[in-house]
Amino acid sequence: MSRKNQTLGEFIIENQSEFKYSSGELSKLINAIRLAAKVVNHEVNKAGLVDIIGTAGDTNVQGEDQQKLDVLANQTFIQTLSKREIVCGIASEEEEDFISINSLDENNQNKYVVLIDPLDGSSNIDVNVSVGTIFSVYRRITPLGTPVTKEDFLQPGRNQVAAGYIIYGTSTMLVYTTGHGVNGFTLNPAIGTFYLSHPNMQYPKDGKYYSINEGNYIHFPKGVKSYLKYCQMEEGDRPYSSRYIGSLVSDFHRNMIKGGIYIYPKSSVAQAGKLRLLYECNPMAFIAEQAGGRASDGFNRILDIEPSELHQRVPFFCGSYNMVKDAERFMAEAQ
């Protein structure tokens, strides 16, 4: 039975049988992510002491300014995952196309592809605000021993076999699910080991926080504006409190513990929304549902959306189940 202060390695071994394709691969994959997370954590903690903050002078495929730590985190996760005999492909928010691993080896039996946002909220590094890493794992659908194709990555979120995030804050935590609940592990920096600190994490059904960039209010659709007025109305357990960090991992993590909703809707300046379906919304939606929460684009379940491109963007409503249902009601009424 899982117990607090159990190491991540012990937890993985003890719960290996819950993994649908249990044969040791999950352990290797999570261990690779754990190792890369510790490297990135070390670099994040040095920000301000060495020349790793600020922009790298380039833009990524999204057209966004790359931070120096974006580049470092991206390289660290790709290199670490590539060296394990389990991953056959990697897609990163920072890369224009997916990366095929050992694609010329006919004996390559690697089964999994990983999609990753190496450093979510990286613009906050300069001001010492929590940032994170988001990852998503799928079993490939093309034949073993052949190069991966885009088809292996363009799977609906319901096909995920694992997903998680690492939050680099006052403490560093790795939170993940394999479809059997959500568990959080905190890094003991003195010995470099993750320990189970938050077993069976659950979203409160109702919350008291809403997280949205209200500076964009004028650009929001009518349904979102109506829901925000509802959140601010003094009635029952309302008004809710506004809490917005600007780092998805940080906002999500707080809301899962305290109870709340995170919203990044489409707008008149971002018709498809801003967050990426494959690197951000799908993994966070999987975690949310496993923790008793809910995630949608305002109308449809996130995990049922059929992806059409690697860097597809969607609106995102995620958090405490009843709060998301309320937001969806206002969206439907406005429509």
The binding site for Mg(2+) consists of 93, 117, 119-120, 280
Sheet containing 131-139: order of strands: 99-100, 87-92, 112-120, 131-139, 162-168, 172-177, 182-188, 193-198
* Alpha-carbon gap, residue 120 to 280, rounded angstroms: 9
Q: Please give the full DSSP string across 38-57, using - where no structure is assigned.
A: HHHHHHHTTBTTBS--SEEE
Residue with tokens 């920000």: 47
Beta bridge partners of 50: 47
Q: List, as residue ranges, the binding site for substrate.
A: 120-123, 213, 244, 274
Q: Closest Cα partner for 320 from 295, 303, 300, 299?
A: 295
Annotation: binding site: 93, 117, 119-123, 213, 244, 274, 280
CA distance linking residue 99 with residue 148, whole number of Å: 9
> Rounded to the nearest 10 degrees, what angle do helices 25-44 and 68-82 cross at?
160
List 242's β-bridge partners, or say none: 210
Round to the nearest angstrom and report the end-to-end CA distance of the chain. Answer: 48
String of DSSP letters for 1-44: ---TT-BHHHHHHHTGGGSTT-SSHHHHHHHHHHHHHHHHHHHH
Of the candidates 263, 259, 247, the one whose C-alpha atom is nearest the C-alpha of residue 209 is 259
At 151, give phi and psi (nearest 5°): -60, -30
